[in-house]
C-alpha cells in the first residue's frame, strides 16, 4: 500500500492552549489533534507543523502534515476530526499532497496579523490587545515601512532563542485602521521567537509618542534585544496563512 501524505489547514483559538507544540502535562493544539487522529485511525499519529505558536497565540491558517499508510475517505476523516476535536480547534481543510511536501520545510513565507483595539471591548477581548491610548497611524505605518526588506532582527527576538543568523526577509508589512481597531499585517520568509510581538510592542511606543521614530530605526541596527521596546500580549497575534 502506498503511503499518503496528508495536509491539514487548521484554525484555532489559542487562549486556552500552551501553544502549538506538544508539551508534557500541557494542553496543546498539536497534542489535541494527534490524540483525536490516533483514536480515529487506530494507530499513533504524529504531525509536522509549519511552525510553533506560543501560548495564547491564535491561528486561522496553521498548516501541518502527516503520513498515513492506510486507505481512508478524506471527507469522512475531516468530518470525524471536526466532530471529535474541542470547539476551539477546527480543521478547515484536509487534502492529499505530494510525498515530498513538509509543512515547515516546504514553506516559502508565513503571514501574521496583530489586532489592537482602541479602548475596551467585551466581545473581542480574547483576540485583541486593548489599548487605552490613541496611537498615531502615520507613525505605525512609518515603522512598518522601515522593517520591509532583509534585516537582522536580533533586537526583536527573545535572547535565549537567538540563532547564529537572525536575518529575515519581510516581504510586506503595514498597518491600517478599521473602526476602533488597528490591524498590523506582516509577511516574511521566516520569523524569530516573539519577533512580531516585540515589533508591535515597540511600534506602539512610537505610536504613543513615547519613542522617536528614528530611535526605532536605530534599534533595528543595534541588534540588541535589551535596546528595544516591550513585547505585545500574545492574544492579539494570529497566524493567518502559510504560503508554499
Q: What are the catalytic residues?
A: 54
3-state secondary structure of 42: coil
Question: DSSP string spanning 175-208?
Answer: EEEETTEEEEEEEES---TTHHHHHHHHHHHHHH
The answer to whether 200 and 114 have CB atoms below 8 angstroms apart is yes
Rounded to an integer, what distance in angstroms lies between the CA atom of residue 208 and that of residue 172? 23
Residues 234, 98 contacting (CB under 8 angstroms):
no
Rounded Cα–Cα distance for residues 179 and 177 (Å):
6
| Residue 176 CB contacts under 8 Å (≥ 6 apart), including other chains | 137, 182, 183, 185
Amino acid at each position: 500500500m502506498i503511503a499518503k501524505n496528508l495536509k491539514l489547514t487548521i484554525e484555532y483559538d489559542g487562549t486556552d492552549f500552551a501553544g502549538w507544540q506538544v508539551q508534557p502535562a500541557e494542553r496543546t493544539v498539536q497534542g489535541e489533534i494527534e490524540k483525536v487522529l490516533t483514536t480515529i485511525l487506530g494507530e499513533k499519529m504524529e504531525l509536522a507543523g509549519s511552525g510553533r505558536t506560543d501560548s495564547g497565540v491564535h491561528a486561522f491558517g496553521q498548516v501541518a502534515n502527516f503520513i498515513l499508510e492506510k486507505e481512508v475517505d478524506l471527507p469522512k476523516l475531516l468530518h470525524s476530526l471536526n466532530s471529535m476535536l474541542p470547539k476551539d480547534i477546527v480543521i478547515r481543510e484536509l487534502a492529499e499532497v505530494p510525498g515530498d511536501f513538509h509543512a515547515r520545510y516546504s514553506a516559502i513565507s508565513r503571514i501574521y496579523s496583530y489586532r489592537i483595539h482602541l479602548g475596551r471591548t467585551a466581545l473581542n477581548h480574547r483576540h485583541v490587545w486593548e489599548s487605552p491610548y490613541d496611537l498615531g497611524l502615520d507613525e505605525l505605518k512609518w515603522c512598518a515601512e522601515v522593517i520591509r526588506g532583509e534585516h537582522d532582527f536580533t533586537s526583536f527576538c527573545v535572547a535565549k532563542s537567538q540563532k547564529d543568523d537572525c536575518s529575515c526577509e519581510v516581504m510586506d508589512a503595514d498597518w491600517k485602521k478599521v473602526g476602533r481597531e488597528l490591524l498590523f499585517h506582516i509577511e516574511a520568509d521566516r520569523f524569530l521567537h516573539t519577533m512580531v510581538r516585540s515589533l508591535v510592542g515597540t511600534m506602539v511606543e512610537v505610536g504613543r509618542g513615547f519613542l522617536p521614530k528614528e530611535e526605532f530605526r536605530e534599534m533595528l541596527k543595534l541588534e540588541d534585544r535589551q535596546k528595544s521596546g516591550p513585547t505585545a500580549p500574545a492574544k492579539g497575534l494570529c497566524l493567518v496563512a502559510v504560503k508554499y
